[in-house]
Chain A
Amino acid sequence: MKRGGLQGYIIKRLIYAALITFGVVTITFILLRVGPSSPADKYLANMSARTQDPAQVIAAVEARYGLDKPIYEQYVDYVVNLARGDWGWSFSTSLPVIKLIQRHWVYSFQLILLSMLFSASLGILIGVYSAIKQYTRTDYLATLFSFIGISIPNFWLGIMLILVFSVQLGWFKTYYDTGLPLFSLANLKALILPVITLGTGMMAGYTRYARSATLDNLRKDFVRTARAKGLPERVVIGKHVFRNAILPIITIIMFDLSGVVFGGAYLTEIIFGIPGLGRISFNAIFAGDYPVVVTITLIGALVVLFTNLATDIVYTWLDPRIRYD
């Protein structure tokens, strides 16, 4: 019965995730086709300087992209292409979109990963500590700090950091140097300001969640039982409270991805000139290169979907109460 429970749950979730994927893909398609400018127009904007006969270009583009087919067929083509891995061609960079993504995803990944590690670890630490020392000055300071952290616009924070540390103090370059090897110390140094920019807002939120999750659990009866056993306080907190508090904390952190993290990363990449997917998408917007924009939006959604799924499963694994229902 144990095995069946967990496996069954995973299967259910996978089916559900597949449904959501369909939904996401469909909505993207609808948005694309509903917009005032057809994809042909975007391409036209690029080509208008180079061609004499716009009508001919439009016809050619439509034929090329299958836009003259009925909507239903377009949709099927679209979905099939996505599934097959044909995600379009990027006009502005003359690359298949997949190749473009392959080249640039690492930058986004390292930024997001480092920021999450930084903010989650610090945030949880501060949150738990301030919950234990509730009502002390440290607690109030931490709460105030998280308020401020949530309220500072992260793009402004980035600019301010650049102002102070790059322009005035000269400790860092103002723009990210893409020539650095990824696993080098120099690269890490160049990422310090971006990570602080992206991480501060996230950390403020995490501190709050960690604090409230810990507070909730501190009041519980099993904490008293643990103390009655003669366990030292650090074990009571570190083992008993923490193991219970970590569940909602992890859930909230992972589900926050689709809001603060991706939006913040997008902006941070633009400010610091980090050539991650956000920046690529941004460039594509101004170049009218819609396949790139569409794909990156889809990728964003898919990553969120995947992380949600993974978090759900991890949560089920961590919380024994759920498994056996």
Chain B
Amino acid sequence: MIRQISSKVGGLKNLIFIGALLVLAIVLLLDIYLVDQILEPLEYFYLFFAIIAIFYGIYPLYANRRLTKYYWERIKRHRLSVFGLAFIVFLIAVALIGPLLTQDPTKVNFQEKSLPPVGFTIQQSVYDLKAEEFVTRETPGTWQHPLGTDDKGRDMLAMLVSGARVSLQVGLLATLIAILIGTIMGVVSAYFGGWVDMALMRFTDVMMTFPFFLLLVFIIFIFGPSLVFIILAIGLTGWTGTARLVRSDALSLRTREFIMASKSLGASDTRIVFRHLIPNVISSVIVIATLSIPGVILAEAALSFIGLGDPTVTSWGVVLNAGQRSLDTAWWVAVEPGIMLFLTVLAFNFLGDGIRDAFDPRSQL
């Protein structure tokens, strides 16, 4: 019986895919109507996109091992991309394990405010109770707060680790949303052509006319600054570039013979879209995705920085905000998160560049 169902759906793989989605939907329904909070909304997002990523991203890599190896060889040629990848892996490790190893990033401790990182010593002006006046005291950094503390005594290392987590979460999720929307719009638009294409593209044009950041801020203003909304907002505003690129890619594929052959064999439209167009467009999509992640991370950081981020979450942008307040007393609070942001963005840019060159059939490495 399983075999019957799976052949209807197009294979065992598709069966498992749909099954996983169904399970998730059931849990979601239970959550809403019966039990209290099995999973947080954010976690539903993760699972949903994890399922999509596994079936459309990771599984194809596994199935075509030779192809994967070939691309990996090409990526390896770009040393910078490999560094980028290494840094990202490091960051993922930090995000996963870090919170277990560090202190509470939200713990405020005014006794230990504005401590410098290890190895630095600053002059602090402290009120000496005994002498009843302000005394300058030399304060060295300690290993208890290896990266120092901010002006409210929060441990920098803990905050940066928390920030890594947030940035990666937002980066991956929001990018996935944007890529999903953009790819579907692009492929549908290219495949169906005619007025579907026109309508979708006009809509894309309208969305592209809004300056990205202004629209983002506007949406957060209306809907409120919670992490879920931030991720949704970034995803819902950032798909336009992807849609355009995917459409042009798909357009060039559409007229190629294998599509026409499929059609003449009687394949339905959905089938062609899903089984033929999407897999071929995926290589561009992967490149676009990797290169979009930095923009998304910066968008979230910018939002937190100006105060429109989720107040319950410590992200790098929030730390940077604190940093601007204490530029003259605690410069490290501004420098450290910025360096992390910079390196992360740089890493993804390098990796994306390397992947793009690796996938480009015309470049000979």
Contact = CB atoms under 8 A, between A and B. Distances in A.
A32 B232 CA distance: 17
Summarize A's interface: helix, strand, loop or mixed: helix
A285 B342 contact: no
Given A155-B305, A156-B338, A293 B211 contact: no
Contacts of B252: none
Given A19-B202, A159-B323, A167-B328, A153 B211 contact: no
B206 A155 contact: no
A74 to B, nearest CB: 16
Summarize B's interface: helix, strand, loop or mixed: helix
A35 B222 contact: yes
Interface in A14-73: 19-20, 23-24, 27-28, 31-32, 34-37
A171 to B, nearest CB: 15
Given A167-B328, A263-B302, A159 B334 contact: yes
Contacts of B308: 285
B212 interface: yes
A79 interface: no
Interface in B201-256: 202-203, 205-215, 217-219, 221-224
Interface stretch (B4-12, B137-145, B344-352): B344-352
Contacts of B148: none
B362 to A, nearest CB: 13
Interface residues of B, number: 44
A181 B322 CA distance: 32
Given A31-B218, A267-B306, A293-B221, A160 B334 contact: yes
A149 to B, nearest CB: 11
A161 to B, nearest CB: 11
B176 interface: no
A152 B341 CA distance: 8
A297 B206 contact: no
B345 A151 contact: yes
A294 B218 contact: yes
Contacts of A266: 213-214, 217
B122 interface: no
Nearest to B348: A151
A147 B335 contact: no
Interface stretch (A209-217, A237-245, A298-306): A298-306
Nearest to A153: B341
Nearest to B349: A151
Interface string A282-312: 1001100010011011001100110010000
Nearest to B219: A31
A270 interface: yes
Interface in B320-365: 320, 323-324, 327-328, 331, 334-335, 337-338, 341-342, 345-346, 349-350
A297 B210 contact: yes
Interface of A: 19-20, 23-24, 27-28, 31-32, 34-37, 147-148, 150-153, 155-156, 159-160, 162-163, 167, 174, 257-259, 261-263, 266-267, 270-271, 281-282, 285-286, 290, 293-294, 296-297, 300-301, 304-305, 308
A156 B320 CA distance: 8
B334 A297 contact: no
Contacts of B346: 147-148, 151
Contact of A297 (B218, B294, B350): B218
User: Which residue of A37, A263, A266, A282 has the most chain B CB atoms within 10 A of its CB atom?
Assistant: A263
A296 B221 CA distance: 13
A156 B139 CA distance: 26
Nearest to A259: B212
Contact of A293 (B203, B218, B335): B218
A24 B302 CA distance: 24
A20 B205 contact: yes
Contacts of B320: 155-156, 159
A231 B224 CA distance: 63
A160 B335 contact: yes
A281 B341 contact: no
Nearest to B294: A151
Interface in B280-327: 294, 298, 301-302, 305-308, 320, 323-324, 327
Contacts of A19: 202
B358 to A, nearest CB: 17
Given A37-B222, A156-B337, 4 more contacts: A27-B207, A155-B320, A271-B324, A300-B210
User: Which residue of A32, A147, A257 has the most chain B CB atoms within 10 A of its CB atom?
Assistant: A147
24 contacts: A20-B205, A27-B210, A31-B218, A31-B219, A31-B222, A32-B222, A36-B223, A36-B224, A151-B349, A153-B341, A155-B302, A156-B341, A159-B324, A160-B338, A163-B327, A167-B327, A167-B328, A258-B208, A258-B209, A267-B306, A286-B307, A297-B210, A301-B211, A305-B209
Given A153-B345, A160-B334, A263-B211, A20 B206 contact: yes
B341 A301 contact: no
B151 to A, nearest CB: 15
A262 B214 contact: yes
A21 to B, nearest CB: 9
B214 A297 contact: yes
Interface in B179-217: 202-203, 205-215, 217
A290 B250 CA distance: 41
Given A151-B349, A153-B301, A163 B205 contact: no
B185 to A, nearest CB: 15
Contacts of B222: 31-32, 34-37
User: Which residue of A155, A281, A282 has the most chain B CB atoms within 10 A of its CB atom?
Assistant: A155
A31 B216 CA distance: 12
